[in-house]
Amino acid sequence: MSRDSGSAGAAAAEAAGAVEAIEAIVGSGAAQGAGGGWRRGAGVAGAALGVLAAGAAVGVAVERLTVGRGMRRKARLALDASGPYGTLRGTPGTVVAEDGTRLYYEVDEPGGPDGEPQAPASRRLFGGRRAPASPPLTVVFSHGYCLSQDSWHFQRAALRAAGVRAVFWDQRSHGRSERSRTEAVSIDLFGCDLRAVIDAAAPEGPLVLVGHSMGGMTTMALAAQHPGLIAERVVGTAFLGTSAGGLAENTYGLPAAGMSLVRRLVLPGAFKLMATRPELIEKGRRATADLFAGVLRWYSFGSKDVDPAVVRFAERLIEATPVDVVAAFYPVFAEHEKREALCAFERLPVVVVAGDKDLLTPSEHSEAIAEALPDARLLLLEDTGHLVMLERPEVVVAQLGDLLAAAADGGALEHGQRAAAGARGRG
């Protein structure tokens, strides 16, 4: 048997195993008393963490026919050892949320570690006309579901080089923040958390709010709760790969009928297992790590040309999210509805960026945000997935530069500018 045919057989077995596992979890609700049912369910939920489609798992297995499993495992180990991503650290701090949950944040202050001024070229990147402010402008970054503040690695490096004050925080139950003390979490609760972080880390001075996915929804919740804060202090906002509502109808790349079956038959059992037997699910996730990594890539990136070290970095961020947190947070997206809150951002410089291959928050949701904010700049990036700040960091950094320049000048952003090849703007 040739090496290719052996790889094909292994991949076919992976695909068949994914389908068999999902069939097992569909029936797990009726057979929870049997140890075998729990083990089968654990294998399924572990393989499907952070995604919702068996079809995607099969597609990934077929796509990776020619790459040996052992080679991929060795590559992951090498990338873990050498990758610099997620290593940037700032001045740490914690704040206690309204329910007692301790939230972790870091602050990058202007200037170098010794307070040295930054290079003129770096200042030009962000508008070039920034006058010293007291208190200075602060950019607050809110990350997405199953990620952490480290997902802003590229943007953090750019703002640090430019001498821009920035705050990065971990949402509750993510990164270095404490597990949520409130069992029934919500986007509204996350909005309260963001306000607590702002009060602690940037209590005065102008603000630019940047949110990706769940972080963008968190920003909208803040606006709904505290429109006065937005009016008085916020001078610019960026929404990346996010939504203002309507995610209950998202099919995650599956046919509508297939997604309906997944919601009805697969997810209830999967989430129950994640919440009640997380140790078994974690074991299942480790056992199917190779397939799991492929599915994560499928849902995270739109291009095949992403740096493998960046892909592995994204895997590590998602893998670090406990399975019971995945289960607890997922329902909040179907409940999220903040379209009316967008009016708080009218007359402000706003950038809306999305990937045209985003299966988690499809680009139509970003277009809807831009439709509600006619003065916003909308940028749709071709061949780009959900993790736009990691897949197209140069575009996101450039857009933040324009946003900060407009915020500093009190002006508006021009529409329809092409930030890079493969980007189309609203004209």
Whether residue 418 is found in the same domain as residue 276: no
Predicted TM-score of the model (pTM): 0.77
Counting residues of the chain whose pLDDT is more than 90, the rounded percentage is 55
Is the pLDDT reported for residue 286 higher than 90?
A: no
Whether residue 108 is found in the same domain as residue 237: yes
Whether residue 235 is found in the same domain as residue 258: no
Looking at residue 62, its pLDDT comes to 37
Which residue, among 76, 48, 40, has the nearest Cα to 313 in the 3D structure?
Answer: 76
Is the pLDDT reported for residue 64 higher than 80?
A: no
Residues 381, 385: Cα–Cα separation, whole Å: 9
Q: Is 77 part of a structural domain of the chain?
A: no
Whether residue 238 is found in the same domain as residue 341: yes
Please list the residues that pair with 103 across neighbouring strands: 95
The order of strands in the sheet holding 138-142 is 91-96, 102-108, 165-169, 138-142, 207-212, 234-240, 350-355, 377-381, 423-425
Is the pLDDT reported for residue 345 higher than 50?
A: yes
- In contact, 196 and 168? CB cutoff 8 Å: no
Looking at residue 381, its pLDDT comes to 97
Looking at residue 15, its pLDDT comes to 38
Whether residue 369 is found in the same domain as residue 297: no
Per the structure block, which two tokens stand in for 79? 């990338």
Per the structure block, which two tokens stand in for 203? 């209590």
Q: Is 76 part of a structural domain of the chain?
A: no
Looking at residue 57, its pLDDT comes to 39
Q: Is 71 part of a structural domain of the chain?
A: no
**Among the ranges given (40-49, 190-199, 288-297, 344-353), the one the predictor scored with the smallest mean pLDDT:** 40-49
Whether residue 310 is found in the same domain as residue 364: no
Whether residue 117 is found in the same domain as residue 221: yes
**Among the ranges given (2-6, 57-61, 133-137, 185-189), the one the predictor scored with the smallest mean pLDDT:** 57-61
Whether residue 165 is found in the same domain as residue 238: yes
| pLDDT grade for 296, boundaries at 50, 70 and 90 | confident
Which residue, among 249, 220, 226, 248, has the nearest Cα to 372 in the 3D structure?
Answer: 220
Domain count across the chain: 2
| Domain end among 307, 332, 357 | 332
Q: Is 293 part of a structural domain of the chain?
A: yes
Residues 51, 300: Cα–Cα separation, whole Å: 10
| pLDDT grade for 120, boundaries at 50, 70 and 90 | very low
**Among the ranges given (167-181, 187-201, 259-273, 330-344), the one the predictor scored with the smallest mean pLDDT:** 259-273
Is the pLDDT reported for residue 370 higher than 90?
A: yes
Whether residue 218 is found in the same domain as residue 102: yes
Q: Is 179 part of a structural domain of the chain?
A: yes
Is the pLDDT reported for residue 68 higher than 60?
A: no
CATH number at residue 103: 3.40.50.1820
Whether residue 235 is found in the same domain as residue 352: yes
Q: Which domain holds residue 410?
A: 91-246+336-425
Whether residue 275 is found in the same domain as residue 411: no
Q: Is 132 part of a structural domain of the chain?
A: yes
What mean pLDDT, rounded, does the chain reach?
Answer: 78
In the block, residue with structure tokens 């092409």: 418
- pLDDT, one tens digit per residue, over 127-142 is 544 455 578 999 999 9
Query: Residue 174 has what DSSP assignment?
Result: S
- In contact, 338 and 219? CB cutoff 8 Å: no
Whether residue 221 is found in the same domain as residue 169: yes
| Domain end among 332, 347, 374 | 332
Q: Is 8 part of a structural domain of the chain?
A: yes
Ramachandran region of residue 18, left (φ > 0), alpha (ψ -120 to 50) or beta?
A: alpha
Structural Rg of the chain based on CA atoms = 22
| pLDDT grade for 426, boundaries at 50, 70 and 90 | low
Q: Is 79 part of a structural domain of the chain?
A: no
| Domain end among 309, 332, 355 | 332
Looking at residue 77, its pLDDT comes to 54
